[in-house]
Amino acid sequence: MIVIKSEHELQLMREAGKVCAEIFKGLEDLIKPGISTKDIDDYVEMTCKKHGMKAAEKGYCGYPASVCTSVNDEVVHGIPDKKRKLKEGDIVSCDLVVDNKGYMADACRTYAVGKIDEEAARLMETAERAFFEGVKYAKAGHRLREISKAVQKTVEDEGFGVIRDFVGHGIGSEMHEDPQIPNYVCSGPNPRLQKGMTICIEPMITEGDWEVDILDDDWTAVTVDGGWAAHYENTVVITDSEPEIITL
Ligand code: MF3
Ligand code: CO
């Protein structure tokens, strides 16, 4: 069941989205060689608190931190760790969900640590561009699969792989609501989008194959072939006209 949000609910989500955007801005300065992924977690937690909001990932299905920090071949759900120091040339995806009075916004950015190589830069740029190609179809009257198709084409035209094991999703009073939004074309529900729906479009892409393993911490998803991964996500409100991206 897809939940249509009221104007009041959308307002709470927009406020949460602004805090996501503020955090991403702050992370641009924070992320450099030598910091640990736990430093990122502390910053996310502190900034949510400062606004009287909560980092919704903490405790979600037992997840132990306020943000997912996935480095290099880690695709999603990397757990912040003070022993995990970032070094020049790494890339780190920071995926976070802010909860404002029970209503959420979810977004992710991948950051370069110092100077990175050209292939990694192209991977990051492609994940972001795939989001913006997909969101063109996030309009009332369009069907969900048009988003998936645009994302997949953007990624595969660059010779990169699209993760199959994790997908985008609806969001609101729950972090994960219907509909699921795969980043590739497959069978499954293909609803028409309607005003008041709120969705997370989140290309997760790899240099090589899309197959993933889960590490012994039961969370961190890594590529099987060791290729690096990038992830870019925003929460989007379907309106009468243009999509409203609330986490930019
Ligand atoms: N923010 C992730 C998403 O994009 C979910 C993180 S799972 C958690 O859907 F357990 F870390 F919360
Ligand atoms: Co998400």
**72-94, pLDDT tens digit by residue?**
999 999 999 999 999 999 999 99
Helices 144-157 and 118-135: crossing angle in degrees, nearest 10, is: 160
Please tell me the distance between residue 187's alpha carbon and the centre of ligand 2 in angstroms: 21
Q: Is 106 in the pocket of ligand 1 (CB under 6 A)?
A: yes
In single-letter form, the type of residue at position 113 comes to V
Average pLDDT over the chain reads: 98
Helix ranges restricted to H, the chain: 7-30, 37-50, 118-135, 144-157
Q: Which atom of ligand 1 is nearest to the CA of 106?
A: 1
Q: In terms of C-beta distances under 8 Å and separation of at least 24 residues, what long-range contacts does 42-51 make, across chains too?
A: 44/94, 44/96, 47/19, 47/22, 47/23, 48/19, 48/23, 48/98, 51/15, 51/19, 51/100
Distance separating alpha carbons of residues 119 and 108, to the nearest angstrom: 20
Burial class (CB in 10 A: 0-12, 13-18, 19+), 155: buried
Q: By alpha-carbon position, which residue is closest to atom 2 of ligand 1?
A: 95
Choices 3.40.50.720, 3.40.50.1240, 3.90.230.10, 3.40.30.10: CATH for 7-245: 3.90.230.10
Say whether 66 sits in a helix, a strand or coil: coil
pLDDT reported for residue 121: 98
Q: What Å distances lie between residue 33 and 42, 87, 211, CA to CA?
A: 17, 4, 29
Q: Which atom of ligand 1 is nearest to the CA of 65?
A: 11
Say whether 62 sits in a helix, a strand or coil: helix
Categorize the per-residue pLDDT at 194 as very low, low, confident or very high, splitting at 50, 70 and 90. Answer: very high
pLDDT, tens digit, 9 for 90 and up, residues 41-68: 999 999 999 999 999 999 999 999 999 9
Cβ-Cβ contacts under 8 Å for 17 (sequence gap 6 or more): 98, 105, 107, 235, 246, 247, 248
Q: Is 41 in the pocket of ligand 1 (CB under 6 A)?
A: no
Pocket test for ligand 1, best of 58, 74, 95, 218 (most atoms within 8 A of CB): 95
Pocket test for ligand 1, best of 44, 69, 76 (most atoms within 8 A of CB): 76
Cβ-Cβ contacts under 8 Å for 184 (sequence gap 6 or more): 148, 151, 152, 162, 164
Please tell me the distance between residue 172's alpha carbon and the centre of ligand 2 in angstroms: 11
Categorize the per-residue pLDDT at 4 as very low, low, confident or very high, splitting at 50, 70 and 90. Answer: very high
The mean pLDDT of 7-32, rounded to a whole number, is: 99
Looking at the DSSP bridge assignments, the partners of residue 206 are 161, 229
Say whether 74 sits in a helix, a strand or coil: strand
Q: Domain residues of the chain, as ranges?
A: 7-245
Pocket test for ligand 1, best of 41, 57, 74, 218 (most atoms within 8 A of CB): 57
DSSP state of 233: B
pLDDT reported for residue 241: 96
Q: Which atom of ligand 1 is nearest to the CA of 96?
A: 1
Q: With pLDDT > 70 as the criterion, what percentage of the chain qualifies?
A: 100
Q: Which atom of ligand 1 is nearest to the CA of 62?
A: 10
Q: Which atom of ligand 1 is nearest to the CA of 97?
A: 1
Prediction pTM value: 0.98
Q: Is 68 in the pocket of ligand 1 (CB under 6 A)?
A: yes
